[in-house]
Amino acid sequence: MIEAQDIVQTVQGRTVLNGLSCSFQKGRMYGVIGPNGVGKSTLLHLLSGVEQPKAGKVMLDGQRISAYPRKQLAKQMAVLQQSGLPPVGFSVREVVSMGRYPFQSWLGGDEQDADQIIDEALSAMGLGELANRKMDQLSGGERQRVALAKLMAQEPSIILLDEPTTYLDIGFQVQLLDTVRAWQQARDLTVIAVLHDLNLASLYCDELLVLHKGKVAAAGAPHDVLTSALIEQVYETKTTIITHPATGVPQIMLQPNVNF
């Protein structure tokens, strides 16, 4: 279990998280939602141990996350940053193979059959034909898929995704989240994803965490969280909530404020 306890954090002198507490259980997929600037990415940085809070603490399996050596932590947790991968001159396969770094000895040997793990990650993200292509020859969406394949090669038990569908068209958004969800369920992983699209969050996540004014405004299953009243309170936008005809989860229809 990963847990944030009474977190306070500032960004450029502004308090974005103020006494926030939340927890994430093994084997669940969580969506972190809320308007711009409420600290969603900041929370992920704290959960990953990359940043330390001004007050409060982040615990992983009962131990402060700051106490874990970085390589040991990388064997358990993988992070997909919002910015994705830069268009460097490495090949796709070389970048995906970098996900095996936590399992390599100082001589470069791997604890497992790295080639098979890398091949499976490339195949899962539809990158087999691009394996030898240089990163600077890829589109933003293709680089995003490479970034997720690199995470898969890392074989973590906890995955943190910061806006993973950025740069992707709707087809690849569905493919990516289908892959993440299937991977999460098959391996009983904990996935925590910052998502802007509330409908995608509702479709794919077991639970949603809504951030507002530095705290958790609501948390729970999508049908408990995604109400017109809460969305109007948090996003200052009127909506109509309908039920997805195939899955039964809530979906949001926006209401324009002007007459056409």
Helices 170-187 and 140-154 meet at what angle, rounded to 10? 0
pLDDT at 107: 58
Range of the domain at 179: 1-76+156-223
DSSP state of 2: E
- 161 is a domain residue: yes
- 231 is a domain residue: no
Instruction: Please determine, for residue 76, whether its predicted confidence score (pLDDT) is greater than 80.
Output: yes
d(CA 254, CA 181): 26
- 217 is a domain residue: yes
Picking from 36-45, 76-85, 221-230, 234-243, which range would have the lowest pLDDT averaged per residue? 76-85
> Cβ distance 240 to 199 under 8 Å?
no
> In one letter, which amino acid is 217?
A
- 81 or 98: whose pLDDT is higher? 98
pLDDT at 64: 94
94 and 150 assigned to the same domain = yes
127 and 18 assigned to the same domain = no
66 and 168 assigned to the same domain = yes
Residue 254, both tokens? 């926006």
pLDDT at 218: 95
Q: What is the mean pLDDT of residues 123-135?
A: 89
Q: Which residues contact 256 (CB under 8 A, 6 or more apart)?
A: none
Q: What is the mean pLDDT of residues 157-179?
A: 87
Q: What is the mean pLDDT of residues 71-96?
A: 82
pLDDT at 105: 66
- 247 is a domain residue: no
Picking from 71-75, 138-142, 213-217, which range would have the lowest pLDDT averaged per residue? 138-142
d(CA 154, CA 100): 5
d(CA 183, CA 117): 14
Instruction: Please determine, for residue 40, whether its predicted confidence score (pLDDT) is greater than 90.
Output: yes
d(CA 78, CA 192): 11
Q: What is the CA 64 to chain-centroid distance, rounded?
A: 21
Dihedral angle at the C-alpha atoms of 126, 129, 130, 133, nearest 10 degrees? 170
Q: What is the mean pLDDT of residues 150-156?
A: 89
Instruction: Please determine, for residue 199, whether its predicted confidence score (pLDDT) is greater than 90.
Output: yes
pLDDT at 260: 66
As a residue count, the chain comes to 260
pLDDT band at 102 (very low <50, low <70, confident <90, very high): confident
> Cβ distance 92 to 132 under 8 Å?
yes
- 124 or 219: whose pLDDT is higher? 219
- Using a 10 angstrom Cβ sphere, with 0-12 exposed, 13-18 middle and 19 or more buried, the burial of residue 91 is middle
pLDDT at 106: 59
Instruction: Please determine, for residue 87, whether its predicted confidence score (pLDDT) is greater than 80.
Output: no
72 and 164 assigned to the same domain = yes
pLDDT band at 136 (very low <50, low <70, confident <90, very high): confident
- φ, ψ of residue 196 to 5 degrees: the values are -90, -30
Q: What is the pLDDT of residues 248-260, one digit of tens each?
A: 999 999 988 777 6
End position of a domain, from candidates 102, 121, 154: 154
Q: What is the pLDDT of residues 236-245, one digit of tens each?
A: 999 999 999 9
Instruction: Please determine, for residue 166, whether its predicted confidence score (pLDDT) is greater than 80.
Output: no
Residue 239, both tokens? 């909506």
> Cβ distance 103 to 85 under 8 Å?
no
Number of domains, the chain:
2
Q: Mean pLDDT for the chain?
A: 89
> Cβ distance 148 to 95 under 8 Å?
no
pLDDT band at 220 (very low <50, low <70, confident <90, very high): very high
71 and 160 assigned to the same domain = yes
Picking from 94-103, 231-240, 246-255, which range would have the lowest pLDDT averaged per residue? 94-103
